Amino acid sequence: MKNRFLFSALALFAGVFLFQACCDDCDNGPCYCSEKGIILGEDPRDCFCCGGWFIEIDGDTLRAMNLPQEFAATLNSSEYPLPVYLEWTTVDMPCLGDEIEVPCIRNQE
């Protein structure tokens, strides 16, 4: 019985340690925005489906029409290209085919 308790405590400790090791780049919170990307700049085109930000992810250049407001307010065009961590999904009904939704984004530091 004592060995089972020690084994369970050790397994719990190891699980917590591994979880923390995977998330050591998170700032005092849960892991989020873990995929690497680079904001290349704003889309300067003037058309119905244009606008937003060009973001390179895994060698593909995609476009986010909107970024979370608290992040977008901190952007400065002199910082492009800007390495970021983000979470993204494809848009259900894209206009040009390169649009993504970015619910979570943060600077790489």
pLDDT, one tens digit per residue, over 7-32 is 554 444 444 443 443 444 445 555 57
Q: pLDDT class for 39, splitting at 50, 70, 90?
A: very high
Maximum separation of any 2 CA atoms in the chain, in Å:
71
**C-alpha to C-alpha distance for 4 and 8, rounded to whole angstroms:** 6
**C-alpha to C-alpha distance for 102 and 54, rounded to whole angstroms:** 12
Q: Who contacts 24 (Cβ-Cβ below 8 Å, separation ≥6)?
A: none
Domain ranges of the chain: 1-26, 32-107
**Model pTM score:** 0.68
Contact 85, 36 (CB under 8 A): yes
Question: How much is the pLDDT for 109?
Answer: 78
Question: How much is the pLDDT for 22?
Answer: 43
pLDDT at 1 > cutoff 70: no
Question: How much is the pLDDT for 25?
Answer: 45
